[in-house]
Amino acid sequence: MNPIASPSSSPADHSEPASSSLEGRVAIVTGAGSRTADIGNGRAAAILLARRGARVLLLDIELDAARATEQTITAEGGQAMALACDVSQAEACREAVQAAVRAWGRVDILVNNVGIGGPAGNAVDLDEQEWDRALRINVTSMMLMAKHAIPEMRKVGRGAIVNIASVAGLMGGTPALLYPTSKGAVVNMTRAMAAHHGTEGIRVNCVAPGMVYTPMVAGRMTPEVREERRKRSLLQTEGSGWDVGHAVAYLASDEARWVTGVVLPVDAGATAGKAPSPGLTPDKAEAKAG
């Protein structure tokens, strides 16, 4: 005899494969601009969500940067709206979510992309005020955006949140203390949010970019450092904001309908290990035993 399903359970739907389309959905992307005309993680994610059919609210503290992303999306026939927003401020986050609701009636997707490098230095010599400011931008902003977006997701019965962390939050070796600390916090905040809201149909996942070459880092390195970064992965190829954006678009779509609480490194294998070490000659004892 087959067990009777409880009223709260629902059978898996295997009738057809999940769709990558985001038609009819509304997404909010923080840090959706870029420091230059090139493609950063937020700009790439916003463009790719729009290409899948989502209407996208583009938040950035620099309005002109968000408007440049908006122009790219609308030139391709997509729908987007740029808005200046300091996501470290609670009221600004609330207003941003309400702007999306006023424009399009709902919120389905939130991409928490805003982040800064923060103060240099270790625990002994870093600036305490800059530490507090950077934590608010890198971590608290994601909580604030989720605080106001989740009630709107509840109204439509589902949602997808994608938080952007970094491989620096998964492994050691970063010179400054603030950046890996804040990104590690994003990793476990993602897992906690996934546990809190899974039964509401709200999925929460995290993308951890590796040594991608984006406008945020382009002006802060020499060609030699850029080459060293490329070699720190198993593929030994350079990534871009597009690589991160594609991961975000997947996690936001129904293709990932059964994926939550995941931390997805997009890092050319950097966190999987180092390139193979030189092989050793056969052990003499093993050779004799053979």
| Active-site residue, 250 included | no
The pLDDT tens digits for 76-111 are 999 999 999 999 999 999 999 999 999 999 999 999
Q: Is residue 6 part of a domain?
A: no
Q: Is residue 193 part of a domain?
A: yes
Q: Is residue 1 part of a domain?
A: no
Q: Is residue 106 part of a domain?
A: yes
Plot region of 46 (φ>0 → left; ψ -120 to 50 → alpha; else → beta): alpha
Domain that holds residue 32: 26-289
Domain count within the chain: 1
Q: Where are the alpha helices (DSSP H) in the chain?
A: 41-51, 63-75, 90-104, 128-135, 141-156, 178-197, 215-218, 223-230, 241-252, 284-289
- In 3D space, the residue among 200, 255, 198, 209 whose CA is nearest the CA of residue 232 turns out to be 209
**Residue 66: CATH number of its domain:** 3.40.50.720
State which H helix or E strand residue 57 sits in.
Answer: strand 55-60
- In 3D space, the residue among 117, 130, 114, 102 whose CA is nearest the CA of residue 26 turns out to be 102
pLDDT at 14: 63
Q: Which residues in the chain land under pLDDT 50?
A: 1-9
Q: Is residue 17 part of a domain?
A: no
Torsion of CA 67, 71, 77, 83, to 10 degrees: 0
- In 3D space, the residue among 170, 155, 144 whose CA is nearest the CA of residue 101 turns out to be 155
% of the chain exceeding 70 in pLDDT? 93
CA–chain centroid gap for 137, Å, is: 14
Q: Is residue 9 part of a domain?
A: no
Cβ atoms within 10 Å, residue 167: 23
Cβ-contact 29, 78 below 8 angstroms: no
Q: Is residue 13 part of a domain?
A: no
pLDDT at 3: 41
Is 47 exposed, middle or buried (CB count within 10 Å of its CB: 0-12, 13-18, 19+)?
Answer: buried
Cα–Cα distance for residue pair 130/86, rounded to 1 Å? 16
Catalytic residue among 67, 81, 146, 179: 179
Name the 3-class secondary structure at 163.
strand
Q: Is residue 2 part of a domain?
A: no
pTM: 0.90
Cα–Cα distance for residue pair 162/128, rounded to 1 Å? 29
pLDDT at 275: 76
